[in-house]
């Protein structure tokens, strides 16, 4: 039997369940005109410049891509103010999370994770047979004090998702600096900043400032959210050169495809598209806040492009009913909050369709 020859720890891993894709709903329900507000993609799409760059690169796909992502790393280094050897590019930041685990974790090492937070942290920890230590959120936010108290001599990695997925909350610069001061320097702190560009809070920490300090840190960012090319799977990490060098030892050659590289490079330079996306997100967020307030629905104020909303009914039942109406959201039960949903802030048309559908479905259920 396969169970007899596979590594036993993999059977403790819960497979990641992504947001339901539009094509799957079309197949299952036989309906069209579906909107997806479940996976925090950019509803305004990719940069036109990124699309054009990828189109121009299509005739070259018979060739292997640049295995070192030289031009993208060069552009990133100039934009964020670091050296090229501070940067690793991955097949999505998810791949870098896996590289981190493969590089630094031994069986029985401990990783500290907030709960609820991004499920990939537990996934990569368990792949390497590490022990995952979960620390509950406090007021829907990372409880850094409690996470620091959870550190033992076995602690190897601490994951901090900031803004946090699924709650959209942040920890402040002061909180972060107090947290780092108390940690043994050998512990690797992973700052997952997938939604970095959406943050407008004045006390948000600039974690790249910590890269050159004694504490081992790595900051992860992605092109899947504000830059709108989630389908191309490309993200990057920033850390000390010796950390990057260690990660590169386990990185697959040619891990980032050619179209992803040229698309990301063009998207990085299209500041107008980023500004339009941020403005659209701000308007959508304000509209949804007003609507939730009018209906008396509790929500967690967000620093991202999604909102964690208490619907007061079973989220799985609500999900299925909204699916029948062609609106895909994310259920809260997978995050330990069965009467919540996570909804991506969409275009204004999508937001209005979501609210009208939610109002209808809540009336039907109640």
31 and 54 co-located in one domain: no
pLDDT of residue 14: 77
Distance of alpha carbon 154 from alpha carbon 159, whole angstroms: 15
pLDDT tens track for 14-70: 777 777 788 888 888 888 899 999 999 999 999 999 999 999 999 999 999 999 999
147 and 174 co-located in one domain: yes
218 pLDDT above the threshold of 80: yes
187 pLDDT above the threshold of 80: yes
216 and 290 co-located in one domain: no
- Within a 13 Å sphere around the CA of 220, how many CA atoms are in the beta-carbon half? 27
210 and 279 co-located in one domain: no
pLDDT of residue 272: 98
Residue 302 maps to a domain: yes
pLDDT of residue 86: 97
Residue 305: give the domain boundaries: 19-45+272-365
**CATH number for the domain that contains residue 203:** 3.40.640.10
What confidence category does residue 13 fall into, taking pLDDT thresholds of 50, 70 and 90? confident
Q: Would you say how long the chain is, in residues?
A: 366
187 and 276 co-located in one domain: no
pLDDT of residue 24: 85
**CATH number for the domain that contains residue 305:** 3.90.1150.10
pLDDT tens track for 65-123: 999 999 999 999 999 999 999 999 999 999 999 999 999 999 999 999 999 999 999 99
| Alpha-helical segments (H) within the chain | 2-5, 22-29, 48-57, 70-80, 92-104, 120-127, 144-149, 173-181, 241-250, 258-269, 271-295, 315-324, 348-365
337 and 191 co-located in one domain: no
pLDDT tens track for 141-176: 999 999 999 999 999 999 999 999 999 999 999 999
Q: Among 269, 298, 316, where does a domain finish?
A: 269
pLDDT of residue 139: 97
73 and 165 co-located in one domain: yes
* Number of domains the chain is built from: 2
pLDDT of residue 215: 82
112 and 245 co-located in one domain: yes
126 and 55 co-located in one domain: yes
């Amino acid at each position: 039997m396969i169970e007899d020859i596979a590594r036993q720890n993999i059977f403790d891993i819960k497979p990641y369940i992504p947001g339901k894709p539009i094509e799957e709903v079309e197949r299952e329900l036989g309906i069209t005109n579906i909107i997806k507000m479940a996976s925090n993609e950019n509803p305004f799409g990719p940069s036109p410049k990124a699309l054009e760059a990828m189109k121009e690169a299509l005739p070259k796909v018979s060739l292997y891509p640049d295995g070192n992502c030289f031009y993208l790393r060069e552009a990133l280094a100039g934009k964020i103010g670091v050296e090229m050897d501070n940067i690793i590019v991955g097949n999505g930041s998810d791949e870098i999370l896996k590289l981190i685990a493969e590089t630094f974790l031994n069986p029985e090492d401990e990783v500290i994770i907030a709960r609820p937070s991004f499920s990939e942290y537990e996934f990569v920890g368990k792949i390497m047979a590490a022990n995952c230590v979960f620390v509950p959120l406090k007021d829907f936010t990372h409880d850094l004090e409690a996470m620091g108290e959870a550190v033992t001599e076995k602690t190897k990695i601490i994951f901090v998702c900031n803004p946090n997925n699924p709650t959209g909350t942040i920890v402040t610069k002061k909180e972060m600096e107090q947290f780092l001061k108390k940690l043994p320097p050998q512990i690797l702190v992973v700052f997952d900043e997938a939604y970095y560009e959406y943050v407008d809070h004045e006390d948000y920490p600039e974690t790249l400032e910590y890269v050159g300090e004694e504490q081992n840190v790595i900051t992860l960012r992605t092109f899947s959210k504000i830059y709108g090319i989630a389908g191309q799977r490309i993200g990057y990490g920033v850390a000390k050169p010796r950390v990057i060098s260690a990660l590169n030892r386990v990185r697959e050659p040619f891990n980032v495809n050619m179209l992803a590289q040229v698309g990301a490079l063009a998207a990085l330079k299209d500041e107008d598209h980023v500004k339009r996306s941020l403005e659209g997100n701000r308007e959508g967020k304000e509209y949804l806040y007003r609507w939730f307030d009018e209906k008396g629905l509790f929500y967690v104020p967000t620093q991202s492009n999604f909102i964690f909303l208490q619907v007061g009914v079973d989220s799985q039942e609500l999900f299925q009913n909204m699916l029948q109406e062609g609106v895909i959201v994310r259920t809260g039960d997978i995050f330990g909050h069965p009467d919540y949903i996570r909804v991506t802030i969409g275009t204004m048309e999508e937001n209005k369709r979501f609210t009208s559908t939610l109002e209808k479905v809540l009336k039907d259920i109640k």
